[in-house]
Amino acid sequence: MPTRVCCCCSALRPRYKRLVDNIFPEDPKDGLVKADMEKLTFYAVSAPEKLDRIGSYLAERLTRDVVRHRSGYVLIAMEALDQLLMACHSQSIKPFVESFLHMVAKLLESGEPKLQVLGTNSFVKFANIEEDTPSYHRRYDFFVSRFSAMCHSCHSDPEIRTEIRIAGIRGIQGVVRKTVNDELRATIWEPQHMDKIVPSLLFNMQKIEDIDSRMGPPSPTADKEENPSVLAEDCLRELLGRATFGNMNNAVRPVFAHLDHHKLWDPNEFAVHCFKIIMYSIQAQYSHHVIQEILGHLDARKKDSPRVRAGIIQVLLEAVAIAAKGSIGPTVLEVFNTLLKHLRLSVEFEANDLHEESVSSVSVNTGSKDNDEKIVQNAIIQTIGFFGSNLPDYQRSEIMMFIMGKVPVFGTSSHTLDISQLGDLGTRRIQIMLLRSLLMVTSGYKAKTIVTALPGSFLDPLLSSSLMEDYELRQLVLEVMHNLVDRHDNRAKLRGIRIIPDVADLKIKREKICRQDTSFMKKNGQQLYRHIYLGCKEEDNVQKNYELLYTSLALVTIELANEEVVIDLIRLAIALQDSAVINEDNLPMFHRCGIMALVAAYLNFVSQMIAVPAFCQHVSKVIEIRTIEAPYFLPEHIFRDKCMLPKSLEKHDKNLYFLTNKIAESLGGSGYGVERLSVPYVPQVTDEDRLSRRKSIVDTVSIQVDILPNSAPSDDVANNTEEITFEALKKTIDTNVMEEQEKEKRRLVIEKFQKAPFEEIAAQCESKANLLHDRLAQILELTIRPPPSPSGTLTITSGHAQYQSIPVYEMKFPDLCVY
């Protein structure tokens, strides 16, 4: 019951105090005296300079009532404050606000949940008022701390606990709305505040999710005001939506701390949910900030368990999936570089575990660790592939080059990935992982011209990888090639190596070969043929290798073949058939029959594609004879589980083979230039042969011990052989280096004539012709001395050189140009 004063004393009291006292009834149950409240409101509006005194006096009364636990009068005081606050909008309201916030703080400090909720509701009403001018001296540190504490309420009564948590979330929402609109008052974005606000919201989202997972999905009729999880999520979205470039990181970093502290990366459903909220709430141009933060956190947790790292990578995948639709910014290469670095680390960890197992001969939990690392690797590859497939074509080309530059190839140092700690097994594993990543990036890539898809800087290392000794690596390289060459989605129609009865039923899509593609095949065709040829002769090939090689030939025929390329491909097929029959590489019988089957399938395909009746008839006849006499030469039989293999191929009838003369005869009648068919295809020998580990060091560097001069007679070999010393070996190695340099020069000349444009070659030939013309003029100016005898000989001298006398009648001046 409020203290009553006598009439005399009451008359002496200030008017504002009398008006304030009159709004309180005798019994608090009667509520606020509305008539007196209207008088107080009118007085406050009429005399705004009295607002601060009214607020101070109300705060004094409320403090006293709170201490005395007079909840009824507390409610009346807060109702009066709310009405005054809503009614008065002037410059003088600022001192009143200080009193109001002081009273709200008193309520929040009380231990009664009812008063805490009351104070929160009053603060939310205040937060919704737009002030004319901001108050820069006002701080909300206490309210941030108090509302965050309320979000973590552990009251024994579940209903009261939920009510307090909802009040805390709404209070934080009020603080956010009150502060973030003013750029000059940015204290709310300071790390000490974000470290309290963000975890409080995540805590409520997480707790309710845990309950929902046990009790089933929430009722669709549930009001979000009664659901802390929904309210906290809305508040978090609102907070992140107001974040700017300078304070984005401060809002995101507490999320990582919360997920780490509560171990929410494994399982990571909640982490994925959080970052989906973040990515969809922030402005699109700031997406790369979040991705950078995830990458930085992945680096910081690189020594954690594989499942934790896999959880972070899956979160990155979700973030990238959203960011790829908008602006990713300058983080494209950073994303791939970080992911490839962690891919190498994962492979290194896996290799170390296998090494420790082999040393200790104890396999406790090693299998599960290996599986966990594979989860990490698959997550990285999936992220790389998804990210790369959503990039524009120009960026995807750069990423393809970037990944290809990381693939280690034995015998070269061109790759930029550190594999010194991996060993052979780890290096093979990282090769597979990188090529799988490249395969996913190239999936769906459709370039208008093949030069765009396969520039020389990318084609050369890709084909070099096709020479690696592991059949699985070669399969991946071929699949990458298919992704880039197949621009009309024909690969699915060619899947599986088989004899196709009617190619027209496949409904192959193709276009006329453009000039750029024709130029590409003139420049790089021999290189492609060579790698297909060598790939067919690998000893560890399995059925899938032959299927992919067949698909490669078919796709080149569809996408890049003109008449000249068709002839070259047929030459290649015949050369493969001959190599299987002659078997200089000592291939097993299965591989020889596999090559024969591949040749049959391809010639059947290409004969129907070019639709030359005589050619189709010859191919069909050979296939028909093989079906009866040598079914192991056909793909439908050789690649079955149980297929009888012949003991040799030398005794077979020539009717079982595709004959060059009959093919040339059939194609020549249709206008094809078949002169080149008579020239057997022989693959060029290049430096790429040394990239494979099949070569021994003796094949790479051959040291000649015998260093006799060429003019020495054969019977004096023993006497003229130098003693094998260090100097002799050094001299021999120097000689070999010079020979290697000469070979390199010849290779460059050959490559230049194969790949350089015709105009460039013509210009160089013209310059050399001019040089020869000048040389001839010099020779004709030589001093010719008369012959000393009637035999008609003369001696030609030029400078210090004297040439042998030759008969005049045998001298031919055109020969003088050859020197």
Unique residue bearing structure tokens 């999320």 = 255
Structure tokens at 284: 């699109």
**Which H or E element spans position 487?**
none
Distances (CA, A) of 285 to 244, 248, 296, 321, 329: 10, 11, 19, 15, 8
Low-confidence ranges of the chain (pLDDT < 50): 1-9, 184, 209, 211-222, 362-364, 690-723, 782-819
Q: Residue 506: how many CB atoms within 10 A of its CB? A: 15
Q: How far apart are CA 472 and CA 639, in angstroms?
A: 18
At residue 627, the pLDDT reads 93
Q: Residue 561: how many CB atoms within 10 A of its CB? A: 25
Name the DSSP class of 469: S
Decide: helix, strand or coil at residue 785. strand
Q: How far apart are CA 460 and CA 757, in angstroms?
A: 18
Structure tokens at 184: 């000059």
With a threshold of 0.75, does the pTM exceed it? no
At residue 199, the pLDDT reads 95
The answer for residues whose C-beta is within 8 angstroms of residue 501's C-beta and 6 or more apart is none
Measured N-to-C along each axis, helices 269-281 and 248-261 cross at an angle, to the nearest 10 degrees, of: 170
Q: How far apart are CA 495 and CA 510, in angstroms?
A: 17
The answer for residues whose C-beta is within 8 angstroms of residue 644's C-beta and 6 or more apart is 632
Q: How far apart are CA 380 and CA 316, in angstroms?
A: 9
At residue 297, the pLDDT reads 94
Name the DSSP class of 802: E
Q: Residue 734: how many CB atoms within 10 A of its CB? A: 10
Sign of the four-CA dihedral 221, 223, 228, 230: positive
Q: How far apart are CA 456 and CA 589, in angstroms?
A: 36
Sign of the four-CA dihedral 6, 11, 17, 23: positive
* Farthest CA pair distance, the chain: 164
Scanning 88-140, the segments in alpha helix (DSSP H) are 93-109, 113-127
At residue 91, the pLDDT reads 53
Work out the angle at residue 288's Cα, subtended by the Cα atoms of residues 286 and 294, and round it to the nearest 5 degrees: 120
Unique residue bearing structure tokens 């978090």 = 236
Work out the angle at residue 809's Cα, subtended by the Cα atoms of residues 806 and 813, and round it to the nearest 5 degrees: 75
Cβ burial of 556 (10 Å; 0-12, 13-18, 19+) is buried
> Phi, psi (5° rounding) for residue 784?
-105, 115
Decide: helix, strand or coil at residue 768. helix
Q: How far apart are CA 552 and CA 703, in angstroms?
A: 40
Q: Check if the beta carbon of residue 518 is closer than 8 Å to that of residue 461.
A: no
Cβ burial of 447 (10 Å; 0-12, 13-18, 19+) is middle
Q: Check if the beta carbon of residue 209 is closer than 8 Å to that of residue 203.
A: no
HSE, side-chain direction, 13 A CA sphere, residue 671: 3
Q: How far apart are CA 452 and CA 486, in angstroms?
A: 13
**End-to-end CA, the chain:** 127
Q: How far apart are CA 429 and CA 434, in angstroms?
A: 9
Q: Check if the beta carbon of residue 317 is closer than 8 Å to that of residue 383.
A: yes
HSE, side-chain direction, 13 A CA sphere, residue 458: 21
